[in-house]
């Protein structure tokens, strides 16, 4: 017995198989070191080393990258995983979702190669982001230079996608693994700036969730909990960003939202999930109201919309009451951490934004926002505090986050607030936020916000000068962005006297204020009311991005108006 056992152990030590090794080592049934183009075991014994053809790998880009032979491949992968675990995981999902990103995902990658490859791809892109403003250029232009780090990332990503596709073709893919892979792939596309790719993956993930939910009763309890408590909330939070992309079916994930806020908030995480539901429903309701007012040319809302409005107002008010009680309880227990302070400030900034939306959604007047300057100032104040929750050990913000972040409230403020200093402060903080939030690059948001501000202010100064109005230099005196040092020196307290030196209505007249905007590419189709003739003078390519912005022109009596659309090409 002992002789046979020893012989068995000895044989097992010399017969390991390599799935990625060369054909020669597989035939000899020995461990291959996988060094390319020729492994050490073959070259040291004078044998011919022959690796399987890798050209069948399905690439994620039009021109597949041929990775340079490197004996440090395994070391680079392990280093990338270590960086993900130690640095990237806690930043991607934020402090409230660290268990999923640092525990669940690494556990899955131990037995799922596709998840391993996706993780190390995210790690490489997270450590050295190389965003291409135009994904079409990145995919089709060979002149785009890629670092070795980025080449590795795209190679690993290609390998991960190939593995998932093989599993799908074989019918052996686990639905939960598919969902986790989908989340990771959305990360990868978003970090690279490919909004279209991320949105398409998001739609596929939502469809997968919808098909899986009816079967939840027959699923193991741990997987059911993972789906309802972690994965679906991730997709719902992404829905706050996906709404801007249009046609994204986030609403099918919402359940029983009318009663969602009757419960007491027992943690900042529950407070976040509750405000996220409102951050989806309220903008959708605002869009419904705007569409109704424009199409029917009326100044009042029907009963069904008023009923819906009262319900949303009550839910937002209940959230604030429950949130105030939660923060009071947290403060009574202990001194709040930086993460708790930052998260609380972030949630308050969303509350202020949603409050303004509900207060203004029943009118098309662009002048009504002037009455909410204290709310805009509070958004800026809270948004200056919120980054404490995501700041890294070196004092910088992460390049990417899947969590709720300050981008949307600041973007809203930059478009709706016309007080010049508050508006510039919002743009300044937006530029300091994580570069990519959800699907979108904050630098692009800030660029468009700056453009809208400059269009309004330049037209306002010209109009005021034409009418020989005094003190038209008030805007010019603060022209340009607010510096970081100036921003840091100011508290931007909503309780301080931050009012403009003259009425905002005087600075930015109604005639030059910009209403709803839309970005589009001719290749994707035109917004309603837009034709090819509207942009023909620029002789654009089909992939040129345009900004369509609107102004309301009132009639002589002041009771009627018409919408005027104008266009401008965007170059990021």
Tell me: pLDDT of 257 over 60.
no
pLDDT, residue 505, reads 57
pLDDT in tens, 502-554: 456 557 888 899 988 888 889 888 988 898 999 999 988 888 999 999 887 76
How many other CB atoms sit within 10 Å of the CB of residue 111? Answer: 9
Q: Which of residues 57 and 399 earns the better pLDDT score?
A: 399
Mean pLDDT, range 252-256, rounded to an integer: 76
pLDDT, residue 168, reads 86
Mean pLDDT, range 305-331, rounded to an integer: 95
pLDDT, residue 483, reads 47
How many angstroms separate the CA atoms of 58 and 60, rounded?
7
Q: Which of residues 456 and 294 earns the better pLDDT score?
A: 456
**Which H, E and C letters describe 229-297, residue by residue?**
HHHHHHHHHHHHHHHHHCCCCHHHHCCCHHHCCCCCCCCHHHHHHHHHHHHHHHHHHHHHHHHHHHHHC
| Domains of the chain, residue spans | 2-44, 73-255, 262-507, 515-572
Span of 11-15, 77-81, 218-222, 291-295 with lowest mean pLDDT = 11-15
Mean pLDDT, range 412-436, rounded to an integer: 94
Mean pLDDT, range 163-170, rounded to an integer: 89
Q: Tokens for 182?
A: 């989908």
Mean pLDDT, range 180-198, rounded to an integer: 92
DSSP 549: E
Residue 124 to residues 88, 147, 154, 213, Cα–Cα distance (Å) = 10, 11, 9, 34
302: burial class by Cβ within 10 Å (0-12, 13-18, 19+)? exposed
The region, left, alpha or beta by phi > 0 then psi within -120 to 50, assigned to residue 134 is beta
How many angstroms separate the CA atoms of 285 and 31, rounded?
62
534: burial class by Cβ within 10 Å (0-12, 13-18, 19+)? middle
pLDDT, residue 2, reads 42
pLDDT in tens, 109-121: 999 999 999 999 9
pLDDT, residue 418, reads 94
Tell me: pLDDT of 39 over 80.
no
Q: What angle do CA 339, 484, 568 make, to 5 degrees?
A: 105
- Please give the model's pTM, rounded to 2 decimal places: 0.79
pLDDT, residue 29, reads 66
What is the rounded average pLDDT for all residues in the chain? Answer: 80
Mean pLDDT, range 1-16, rounded to an integer: 40
Mean pLDDT, range 446-475, rounded to an integer: 78
How many angstroms separate the CA atoms of 427 and 411, rounded?
8
Q: Which of residues 19 and 252 earns the better pLDDT score?
A: 252
Q: Report whether 227 contacts 221 (CB < 8 A).
A: no
pLDDT, residue 239, reads 87
How many angstroms separate the CA atoms of 410 and 380, rounded?
7
Residues 6+ apart with CB under 8 A from 235: 183, 202, 205, 206, 209, 250, 253
Span of 134-148, 300-314, 390-404, 409-423 with lowest mean pLDDT = 134-148
Tell me: pLDDT of 14 over 50.
no
pLDDT in tens, 208-235: 998 888 887 777 788 888 888 899 999 9
Q: Which of 276, 496, 494 is nearest to 372 (CA)?
A: 494
Tell me: pLDDT of 486 over 50.
no
């Amino acid at each position: 017995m002992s002789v046979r056992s020893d012989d068995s152990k000895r044989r097992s030590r010399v017969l390991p198989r390599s799935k990625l090794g060369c054909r020669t080592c597989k035939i000899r049934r020995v461990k291959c070191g996988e060094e390319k183009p020729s492994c050490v075991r073959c070259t040291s014994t004078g044998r011919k080393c022959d690796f399987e053809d890798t050209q069948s790998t399905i690439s994620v880009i039009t021109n597949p990258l041929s990775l340079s032979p490197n004996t440090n491949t395994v070391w680079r992968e392990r280093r990338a995983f270590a960086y993900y675990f130690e640095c990237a995981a806690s930043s991607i999902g934020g402090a409230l979702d660290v268990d999923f990103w640092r525990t669940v995902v690494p556990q899955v990658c131990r037995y799922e190669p596709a998840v391993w490859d996706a993780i190390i791809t995210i790690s490489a892109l997270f450590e050295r982001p190389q965003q291409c403003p135009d994904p079409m250029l990145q995919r089709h232009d060979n002149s785009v230079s890629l670092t070795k780090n980025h080449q590795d990332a795209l190679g690993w990503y290609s390998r991960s996608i190939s593995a998932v596709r093989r599993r799908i073709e074989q019918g052996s893919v686990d639905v939960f693994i598919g969902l986790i892979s989908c989340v990771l792939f959305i990360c990868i596309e978003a970090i690279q700036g490919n909004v279209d790719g991320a949105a398409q993956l998001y739609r596929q993930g939502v469809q997968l969730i919808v098909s899986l939910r009816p079967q939840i009763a027959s699923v193991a309890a741990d997987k059911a909990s993972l789906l309802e408590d972690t994965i679906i909330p991730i997709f719902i939070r992404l829905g706050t960003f996906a709404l801007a992309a249009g046609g994204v079916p986030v609403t099918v994930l919402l359940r029983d939202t009318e009663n969602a806020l009757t419960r007491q908030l027992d943690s900042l995480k529950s407070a976040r999930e509750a405000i996220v539901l409102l951050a989806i429903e309220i903008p959708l309701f605002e869009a419904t109201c705007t569409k109704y007012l424009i199409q029917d040319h009326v100044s009042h809302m029907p009963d069904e919309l008023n009923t819906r409005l009262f319900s949303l107002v009550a839910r937002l008010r209940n959230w604030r009451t429950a949130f105030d009680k939660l923060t009071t309880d947290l403060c009574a227990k202990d001194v709040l951490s930086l993460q708790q302070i930052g998260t609380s400030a972030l949630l308050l900034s969303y509350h202020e934004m949603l409050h303004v939306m509900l207060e203004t959604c029943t009118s098309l007047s662009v002048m009504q926002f002037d009455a909410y300057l204290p709310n805009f100032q509070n958004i800026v104040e809270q948004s200056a505090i919120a980054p404490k929750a995501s700041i890294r050990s070196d004092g910088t913000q992460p390049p990417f986050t899947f969590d709720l972040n300050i981008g949307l409230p600041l973007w809203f403020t930059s478009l709706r607030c016309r007080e010049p200093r508050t508006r510039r402060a919002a743009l300044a903080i937006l530029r300091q936020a994580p570069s990519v939030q959800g699907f979108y690059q904050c630098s692009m948001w800030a660029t468009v916000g700056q453009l809208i501000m400059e269009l309004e202010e330049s037209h306002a100064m010209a109009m005021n000068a034409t009418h020989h109005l005094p003190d038209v230099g008030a805007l010019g005196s603060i022209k340009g962005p607010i510096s970081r040092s100036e921003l840091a020196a100011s508290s931007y307290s909503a309780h301080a006297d931050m009012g403009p030196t003259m009425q905002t209505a005087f600075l930015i007249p109604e005639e030059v204020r910009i209403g709803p905007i839309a970005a589009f590419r001719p290749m994707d189709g035109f917004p309603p009311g837009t034709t090819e003739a509207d942009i023909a003078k620029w002789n654009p390519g089909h992939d040129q991005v345009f900004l369509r912005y609107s102004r309301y022109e009132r009639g002589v009596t002041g009771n009627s108006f018409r919408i005027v659309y104008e266009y401008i090409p965007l170059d990021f």
